[in-house]
């Protein structure tokens, strides 16, 4: 009887290990995210607990008062890498599958062993019956009877073991069902979480960009109603300078151009991405054939537009060919600190881009130092049309264009605000009151980027961004 007892003991030991593993692992498997449903409550598994963990898709809607609202809540910068929870889930799935396979094998062994146990149990009952009959008939010799009785005594403890074995067999069957249910639950979770794998995230990014672009196209242009708090990107360079991205580049092109100083400079640094600009790495240098004046430069469709030093000439420099494509003077435009902004710095001519194209802001003697806005042909640099705003340029801190409207700040120092707006479509103006936080107290460059709908600022050696709020009214017919 030693061999059957060892065999049954080995099976029971294996069952005990499986039971122990399941008791320790099942709670963590079911409670994958720390949210476990309780009896009597609705079941809920929260896969992601914050936008940093997953995506919240945006909606586009039109409010009853006609305003168009666009909202997008996206993950942190690193969320497009493979999600750690997805990896954990896959690992748990593999563990459950392994356990399920092991339990299938164990179930086969248990089935065979159960047949042996049942046969052993039948043998014990038969032997017990024979002993009782022999005891009554006294048909066996005293020696044989004593041997049978001794063997029966050895088998008596096995009776309780057999009962426990049958109970553990039922436990194995139950655990197998639990593993199956758990596998189904994990498969459902994995299917839901599968949408957040890297490939699916890429597709969501493309869809999100397309829908946001469609939203922006539907919105069209709007009136400036607010400027956000400043976002400092980097502190680099001298007190004066300019930095920018290409307003016409596709969204995948995030190159940054950096020009330190406000006169006689020729060195332009081109960083591959905004992240590289922040870290000061992965850049190339362009050496302009002619030096610049001021900080009113702009990059538009692969070319740099800037004011040539000690002249009223606008230069178009093409980055790829590293050559000047065209240059042209603005008739009557002041230069060399004749009509600068209030901060000086040879800021007589300010080039800028908005949704409608390339603009130049400057002043002439003929209009007594008031700001002139001219629409330029980006290919020939010819003046297409000009407007006299009536606002004195020396009283302006900085200026920028949004949707054909020139916005002027009243100062470059602390306490500055957007104070004046000139509408080129109606040749009219109004005084505004749009405050913004001049964090470093000396702005020497302020330009609007229509691609990103943000203001780029050089503020006392700091490169700063501001988001803008534009008021849009959509008619019931869907037109602007």
Asked if residue 405 is part of any domain, the answer here is: yes
Query: How do residues 51-87 score in pLDDT, each as one tens digit?
Result: 344 434 333 334 444 444 554 444 444 444 445 666 6
Same domain, 149 and 284: no
Ranked by mean pLDDT, the top range of 17-21, 135-139, 299-303 is: 299-303
| DSSP conformational letter for 194 | G
Q: In sequence order, what E strands does 340-442 have?
A: 350-354, 357-362, 370-376, 383-392, 399-402, 405-409, 417-423, 428-435
Asked if residue 58 is part of any domain, the answer here is: no
Same domain, 364 and 458: yes
Same domain, 295 and 226: yes
Of the residues 146, 173, 200, the one at which a domain ends: 173
Query: How do residues 107-163 score in pLDDT, each as one tens digit?
Result: 665 666 666 666 666 777 777 777 677 665 555 567 666 777 777 676 666 666 666
> Are the beta carbons of 5 and 158 closer than 8 angstroms?
yes
Same domain, 228 and 315: yes
Domain of residue 435 covers 214-471
Same domain, 347 and 444: yes
Helix (H) or strand (E) holding 246: none
Asked if residue 8 is part of any domain, the answer here is: no
Alpha carbons 360 and 389: distance in angstroms, whole number? 13
Same domain, 218 and 133: no
Same domain, 248 and 359: yes
Same domain, 155 and 235: no
Asked if residue 327 is part of any domain, the answer here is: yes
Same domain, 281 and 430: yes
Of the residues 108, 140, 173, the one at which a domain ends: 173
- Please name the residue that has the structure tokens 């020497």: 444
Same domain, 258 and 126: no
- DSSP state letters, 307-344: EBTTSSEEEEEETTTTEEEEEEE-TTB--SSSS-BTTB
pLDDT the model gives residue 35 = 37
Strand order in the sheet with 283-293: 241-244, 256-260, 263-271, 283-293
Alpha carbons 330 and 365: distance in angstroms, whole number? 13
> Are the beta carbons of 75 and 208 closer than 8 angstroms?
no
Alpha carbons 456 and 441: distance in angstroms, whole number? 15
Asked if residue 151 is part of any domain, the answer here is: yes
Res 37 pLDDT > 60: no
- Does pTM surpass 0.85? no
Alpha carbons 125 and 410: distance in angstroms, whole number? 107
Its sign, for the CA torsion 308, 314, 320, 322, is: negative
- Please name the residue that has the structure tokens 């905004």: 274
Dihedrals phi, psi of 85, to nearest 5 degrees: -65, -35
Kindly state the percentage of the chain with pLDDT values over 90. 48
Average pLDDT over residues 418-439: 96
CATH number for the domain including 367?
A: 2.120.10.30
Asked if residue 479 is part of any domain, the answer here is: no
Confidence of residue 181 (pLDDT cuts 50, 70, 90): confident
Same domain, 378 and 451: yes
Q: In sequence order, what E strands does 403-461 have?
A: 405-409, 417-423, 428-435, 443-449, 454-459
> Are the beta carbons of 397 and 416 closer than 8 angstroms?
yes
Query: How do residues 166-180 score in pLDDT, each as one tens digit?
Result: 666 777 777 777 777
Please give the distance of CA 87 from its chain centroid, rounded to a whole number: 19
The helix-helix angle for 84-137 and 142-193 (nearest 10°) equals 160
Of the residues 173, 199, 231, the one at which a domain ends: 173
Burial of 298 (0-12, 13-18, 19+ CB in 10 A): buried
- The domain total for the chain is 2
Its sign, for the CA torsion 458, 444, 467, 252, is: negative
Average pLDDT over residues 359-375: 95
Query: How do residues 238-296 score in pLDDT, each as one tens digit?
Result: 999 999 999 998 888 999 999 999 999 999 999 999 999 999 999 999 999 999 999 99
Same domain, 315 and 254: yes
Beta bridge partners of 308: 292
Higher per-residue confidence, 44 vs 206: 206
Asked if residue 228 is part of any domain, the answer here is: yes
Confidence of residue 396 (pLDDT cuts 50, 70, 90): very high
Query: How do residues 323-341 score in pLDDT, each as one tens digit?
Result: 999 999 999 999 999 999 9
Asked if residue 449 is part of any domain, the answer here is: yes
């Amino acid at each position: 009887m030693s061999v059957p007892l060892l065999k049954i003991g080995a099976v029971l030991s294996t069952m005990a290990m499986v039971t122990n593993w399941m008791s320790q692992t099942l709670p963590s498997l079911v409670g994958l995210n720390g949210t476990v449903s309780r009896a009597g409550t609705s079941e809920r598994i929260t896969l992601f607990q914050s936008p940093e963990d997953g995506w919240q898709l945006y909606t586009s809607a039109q409010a009853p008062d006609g305003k168009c609202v666009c909202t997008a809540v996206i993950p942190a910068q690193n969320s497009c890498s493979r999600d750690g929870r997805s990896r954990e889930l896959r690992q748990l799935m593999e563990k459950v599958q392994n356990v399920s396979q092991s339990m299938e094998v164990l179930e086969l062994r248990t089935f065979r062993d159960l047949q042996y146990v049942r046969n052993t149990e039948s043998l014990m009952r038969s032997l017990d019956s024979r002993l009782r009959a022999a005891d009554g008939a006294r048909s066996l010799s005293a020696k044989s009877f004593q041997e049978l009785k001794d063997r029966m005594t050895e088998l008596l403890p096995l009776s309780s073991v057999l009962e426990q074995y049958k109970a553990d067999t039922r436990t194995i069957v139950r655990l197998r069902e639990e593993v199956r249910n758990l596998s189904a639950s994990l498969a459902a979770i994995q299917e839901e979480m599968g949408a957040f794998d890297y490939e699916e995230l890429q597709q969501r990014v493309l869809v999100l960009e397309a829908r946001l672009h469609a939203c922006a196209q539907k919105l069209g242009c709007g009136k400036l109603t607010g400027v956000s708090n400043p976002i400092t990107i980097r502190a680099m360079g001298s007190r004066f300078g300019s930095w920018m991205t290409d307003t016409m580049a596709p969204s995948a092109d995030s190159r940054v151009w950096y020009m330190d100083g406000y006169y006689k400079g020729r060195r332009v640094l081109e960083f591959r991405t905004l992240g590289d600009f922040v870290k000061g790495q992965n850049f190339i240098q362009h050496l302009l054939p002619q030096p610049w004046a001021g900080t009113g430069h702009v990059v538009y469709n692969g070319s740099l537009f800037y004011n040539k030093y000690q002249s009223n000439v606008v230069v178009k420099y093409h980055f790829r060919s590293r050559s000047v494509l065209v240059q042209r003077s603005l008739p009557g435009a002041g230069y060399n600190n004749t009509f600068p902004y209030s901060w000086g710095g040879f800021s007589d001519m300010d080039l800028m881009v908005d949704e409608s194209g390339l603009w130049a802001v400057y002043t002439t003697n003929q209009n007594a130092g008031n700001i002139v806005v001219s629409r330029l042909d980006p290919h020939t640099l010819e003046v297409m049309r000009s407007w006299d705003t009536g606002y004195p340029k020396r009283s302006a801190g900085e200026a920028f264009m949004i949707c054909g409207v020139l916005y002027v700040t009243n100062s470059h120092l602390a306490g500055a605000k957007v104070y004046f707006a000139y509408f080129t479509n109606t040749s009219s103006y109004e005084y505004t009151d749009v405050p913004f936080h001049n964090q470093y107290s000396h702005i020497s460059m302020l330009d609007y980027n229509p691609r990103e709908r943000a203001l780029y600022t050089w503020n006392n050696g700091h490169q700063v961004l501001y988001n803008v709020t534009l008021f849009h009214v959509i008619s019931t017919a869907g037109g602007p």
